[in-house]
Amino acid sequence: MKVIMLGAPGAGKGTQAKRLAAEYNIPHISTGDIFRANIKGGTELGKKAKGYMDAGQLVPDELVCDLVVDRISQDDAKNGYVLDGFPRTIPQAEALDAALAAKGENVDYAVNIDVPDEAIISRMSGRRACVGCGATYHIIFNAPKVADVCDVCGSKLIIRDDDKPETVRNRLSVYHAQTQPLIDYYDAKGLVVNIDGTKDMDAVFAEILEKIGK
């Protein structure tokens, strides 16, 4: 089972990707994890990626794809995997398809966790983080016992810059510009599975399993 997870920042795709990987006993693969593992391991691909990152540049699509293909070729991925955060663009998707086709393989599903922008903005702007111990809360879903005070250490809770509504809107506009074409790309191949991401986490997961089959 080879699955690609799609969804806006804050849609919950990372959580669902991990649950899906555990359900099928296949690896959850994110590009961030791949970069860290290769850089820590001092691999040739890792050294190349580190060079771009240290220079403050984006890692080129071709190198990102090489890193991903190297990861999905490992033994633990022989029965499938869940890709989280890759591909992000059409060129990356095309490079992945070409690499898989060369091995006689293909993607099975592109699971799109669909949440309206305003719901995501509401979710993320409700997050709070402790300045002392780093504990995280949500003013609706996981509120502290005392408003703006950490249950764990008593320090002040703040809203991170990344979670401020204007920042979230900017991230969403970038996401839509990059990813809507990607959804269309996989939809044309009949691979997109749309999931209502506004439900609670368990209901979202149940819908994914229902639609892709256990």
> Is the CB of residue 5 less than 8 Å from the CB of residue 13?
yes
How many Å is the Cα radius of gyration of the chain?
19
Q: Is-contact 151 68, C-beta < 8 A?
A: no
212-to-17, 108, 186, 193 alpha-carbon distances in Å: 13, 9, 15, 8
| Four-CA torsion 40, 42, 48, 49, nearest 10 degrees | -10
Catalytic machinery residues: 13, 88, 127, 160, 171
